[in-house]
Structure 1
Amino acid sequence: MGQVSSALTQAQSYTDASAANVQDWAKNYTDRAFNRASKQSASAGAIGTAIGMLALGAQGISYSDKLIMSVANYRGQMAAGFGYNHSFGDGKMSVAVGGAIARGGPAFGVSFGIGLHH
């Protein structure tokens, strides 16, 4: 009986250790996935803020050509924005090109505006 009891104890110890290893691996995998998603979300927030700040930087400048730069931080993630705006037709039309970059990657855009009424 002693050998059977010893074998059962060893098998239980092995199973408990294996289950603990699998549980640790799953927890670490999940933690890494959530951390990566959180950083990507923060990077997108920083890019959105940097692009929004480009619009504010262009406000009130009466020249037909505007070069705008911005820097933003969201949840510890930094982004830099840049843009160029050209107005023509006595300021009734404009073309803008801009973008931002952060650790999560770049974002770019182009816009065209026209004033319909004075």
Structure 2
Amino acid sequence: LNHGDIEFGFFPHVAPKTVEHIFKLVQLGCYNTNHFFRVDKGFVAQVADVMGGRKAPMNKEQEQQAEKSIVGEFSTVKHVRGILSMGRYSDPDTASSSFSILLGDAPHLDGQVFSIF
């Protein structure tokens, strides 16, 4: 990032499929030219989906991983500042690569809305 690095910690015991998927996308460099498309002060900074948010073309392996959807892995972990939470469409099993970094507590997202990973 222009203002420094961001380090992530994961909850593989809470959302193993989500963590595995995101980690693979990172390993493949899918987020290298991606961007934050939404930043709401005190709420979220949302990373764009890698299929539409990259500035660089993707190779075949990156495309294959980025096209995968993940089942919703919901837990009792709370949406508090610093948490990573998957983006998705209305179907809870449509998360792919867009996620949010919580910039503040968001209890209205707790439960079966978004997977924390």
Higher relative contact order (CA 8 A, sep 6+): 2
TM-score over 0.5 for the pair? no
Classify the TM-score, shorter chain: under 0.3
Which has the greater radius of gyration?
1
TM-score (norm 1): 0.24
More strand by share: 1
More helix by share: 1
